[in-house]
Structure 1
């Protein structure tokens, strides 16, 4: 019921002052997932519609242990080396058992569709559900000046930030209430291109 035809996505933008009710989250360098648990089982659905539940046992186990009847979470599959994001580990498929879900939105809980609630209310409920979970991490947010937060995120080596309207409901597909600002010095896209090129050469 709760899985959207496409998850909310953010058009790229230049740094800008946030809306009065805006919040900002770190942009994670991983694979977008809609994690869902129903009476029929657990699915981890990518933006392309694939189910990665057979890949990420840590996430599946964490979802299974939540004290809920059903749940639907929007988040990012991530690998880390220490406290640092590590896309190379995620891409390599050699560390699938370490992959965690960085959860930033809650779309459904115990049969109740939450997409119409304001973002901050959804995040509040999400935190309560997953706060003791091993394998699911809550994505924190900051309120304040967008360009300042973006500059600090770049200084720490992150891919960028996602700025969101705190008072708005969830919208599937590309939406202007979520705006991503990408760090031009971050190597995420180049790494993906290099990996595809390497696979193409091996296939020759």
Structure 2
């Protein structure tokens, strides 16, 4: 089975970078996870290394249906409400585990190849190819380029979302010197939680 990987953990920031080389993703409110498949063996793990393969069957079943049999995805386990907004309380309750999906935002390994040295935009292109036509169970995190970042953050706050994560499109996946930036909506309930 492909090895697990160390997570790239975003640093808190107060301002959204607006240069053309940055991309911006909505920050979904859920559980960070890694999804690793090697043939029929699929493992879904929490940031703390807990085995959640049994807990979120839809994600695991979707992973097994993909044509590529070896990959490692970085993402967020979420339950979406009718508006398509992540509902942390529903996820945390444990009552809706069968509805949980993976919001996939990075591809760390594919077909036995370690992709961490590739620039982010190439990893995202490979992730898009991997998950093409798989809109349910595991879905690709949409992102917006460059100058739109500050406006996207304002919109995220207006819609009562947790915030955004900004990443430089050319950077490698570097957990120990992670340069991803998270800009949080200070009015969101996640600000008062002790864990994520």
TM score, norm. by length of structure 1? 0.88
Question: Structure 2 residue aligned with 1:165, among 168, 171, 188?
Answer: 168
User: CA-to-partner distance for each residue in 1:122-166, whole Å, 9 max, x for gaps?
Assistant: 111111111222300110111133322211111121100000010
Decide whether the 8 Å contact of 2:16 with 2:153 is kept in 1. no
Residue of structure 2 equivalent to 1:136: 138
Residue of structure 2 equivalent to 1:122: 123
Q: Tell me whether 1:154 sits opposite 2:142 in the alignment.
A: no
Residue of structure 2 equivalent to 1:84: 85
RMSD over aligned Cα atoms: 1.7
What SS class does the counterpart of residue 33 from structure 2 fall into?
strand
User: CA-to-partner distance for each residue in 1:96-134, whole Å, 9 max, x for gaps?
Assistant: 000000000001111111111110111111111112223
Misfit runs of 4+, over 4 Å: none
How far apart, CA to CA, are the structure 2 residues paired with 1:189 and 1:51?
26
How far apart, CA to CA, are the structure 1 residues paired with 2:16 and 2:80?
29
How far apart, CA to CA, are the structure 2 residues paired with 1:100 and 1:40?
19
What SS class does the counterpart of residue 124 from structure 2 fall into?
helix
What SS class does the counterpart of residue 34 from structure 2 fall into?
strand
Structure 1: any 5+ residue segments left out of the alignment?
196-204
Cα deviation, residue 18, structure 1: 3.0
Q: Of the two, which has the highest radius of gyration?
A: 1
Residue 2 to residue 168, structure 1, CA distance change in 2 (3 Å): farther
How far apart, CA to CA, are the structure 1 residues paired with 2:176 and 2:39?
27
Residue 180 to residue 126, structure 1, CA distance change in 2 (3 Å): same
Aligned length, in residue pairs: 191
Q: Tell me whether 1:14 sits opposite 2:17 in the alignment.
A: no
Matches within 5 A, 1:1-204: 1-4=2-5, 6-39=6-39, 41-82=41-82, 83-133=84-134, 134-145=136-147, 146-173=149-176, 175=178, 177-190=179-192, 192=193
Structure 2: any 5+ residue segments left out of the alignment?
none
What SS class does the counterpart of residue 143 from structure 2 fall into?
coil
What SS class does the counterpart of residue 84 from structure 1 fall into?
coil
